[in-house]
Structure 1
Amino acid sequence: MRVVLLGPPGAGKGTQAQIIARKLSAPAISTGDIFRANVSGQTDLGRQAKVYMDAGDLVPDEITVAMVSDRLAEPDAVDGFLLDGFPRTIAQAEQLQTSLSGLGQALDRVLELVVDEEELVRRLSDRRMLVDGEWVQRGDDEPGTVRHRLEVYREQTSPLSGFYGGIGLLSRIDAIGEIDEVTERAMTALGKGGAAEGASSADPTAG
């Protein structure tokens, strides 16, 4: 299957991406991984992207989409993939549709992890990282910063829900609960319901 996974910071997207992809026997593909591979590999696209990144500017959509398209054309993704973190805007979604069409492919389903904003703030604000042997809160996980990140998500990425809903690809998944419960809901939405083996009930705040 060819799947896009949407969800705000703190919805557990990174965790679910890995589990669902494993169950589908498909690669979990994130834009972060794609950028790192292109920049470190000094590909033409990577060199172009690095110019913008070094200047602190956003990488233009055409470069990002080209990188994603190249990754989706690799042998391990021919029969299916799970995209995590892309597309982020309707413009990127439209370009992705065009790129997939050029590969003779199309998306099967878009899963949106849905979590109440107050729960997202609680999850992210509760996260800690180990610094010099002491657990401290990350600067970008302070409540005020978290709410700003969620506002940016709503403005830029949540319109994708309407876009994909309008073309009949969207399934909204309740992402409250244990990890395996959320996974089972997602697999059911993909028509592959059943016991969510291989999942754990660890902290669901990744992604």
Structure 2
Amino acid sequence: MLNIILFGPPGAGKGTQSKNLIDTFGLIHLSTGDILRGEVNAGTELGLQAKDLMAKGLLVPDEMVIQMIDNKLKQNASANGFIFDGFPRTVAQAVALDDLLARNGLPAAQLVALEVEDEELVQRLLERGKDSGRADDQDERMIRTRLEVYYSSTVPVAEHYKSLGRYKSLNGIGSIAEITQNLVKIIEGLKG
């Protein structure tokens, strides 16, 4: 079983590569945004609590997100593994994820980081903004702010996984196929 955290800044290609890895390895995609929306739409107790918090402009607490992920792990107990998207974003979330996986008898997550220079990220996001309709992909200042938040808040997660010996990185510049091929090699190596 594989548990992979595909990591990188906005515009690194995580979404595109997640799809390719899901197809290649038969993994279940766990996006916290999708999970939250699913719980809200299903009207579950957790979903209703989350909806109430979001309506007030508050963040959904880590404990609730972890419970939602736990539910997904249990619903997909026979999966080949999971690819985590948008989680963990903090070291506290990384520690909680490790605890959750251990409680479910699952292997610890491995972090694989896509590394891309800032100027390339800005250009990718501006290009994506032409089609996505997302305001935050169309304004260079907003993009640079998102990158600053990534470096200050999210990069410590990578450092955490480095300290545990569960970190791999690769160059996220090249063709989609080349990057996928390099990711597959790394993940095959993690399978041991």
The answer, yes or no, to whether TM exceeds 0.5 is yes
Q: Give the distance between the partners of 2:126 and 2:79, measured in 1 at CA.
A: 39
Kept in 2, the 8 Å contact 1:110–1:169? The answer is yes
Cα distance, 1:101 vs structure 2: 0.8
Aligned match of 1:67:
68
Name the SS for the 2:47 alignment partner: helix
List runs of 5+ in structure 1 lacking aligned partners: 131-135, 194-207
Aligned match of 1:119:
120
Q: Any runs of at least 4 consecutive aligned residues in structure 1 with deviations exceeding 6 A, and if so which?
A: none
Equivalence map 1:76-91=2 (5 Å): 78-91=79-92
Cα distance, 1:161 vs structure 2: 0.8
Aligned match of 1:102:
103
Equivalence map 1:19-38=2 (5 Å): 19-38=20-39
Name the SS for the 1:191 alignment partner: helix
Kept in 2, the 8 Å contact 1:125–1:137? The answer is no
1:98-123 CA deviation, whole Å, 9 max, x = no partner?
11111011225211111001110111
Is 1:50 paired with 2:46?
no
Amino acid at match of 1:151: E
Cα distance, 1:22 vs structure 2: 1.1
Amino acid at match of 1:92: Q
Kept in 2, the 8 Å contact 1:4–1:84? The answer is yes
Say if 1:137 and 1:166 are closer, same or farther in 2 by CA, change over 3 A.
same
Amino acid at match of 2:44: T
Aligned match of 1:191:
188
Q: Taking structure 1 as the reference length, what is the TM-score of the superposition?
A: 0.85
Match of 1:172 among 169, 172, 176: 169
Q: Taking structure 2 as the reference length, what is the TM-score of the superposition?
A: 0.91
Q: Which is helix-richer, 1 or 2?
A: 2
Indicate the percent of aligned positions where both proteins have the same amino acid: 39
Match of 1:156 among 149, 153, 156: 153
Amino acid at match of 2:116: V
Q: Give the distance between the partners of 1:137 and 1:51, measured in 2 at CA.
A: 27
Kept in 2, the 8 Å contact 1:89–1:156? The answer is yes
User: How many residues in Structure 1 have an aligned counterpart in Structure 2?
Assistant: 188
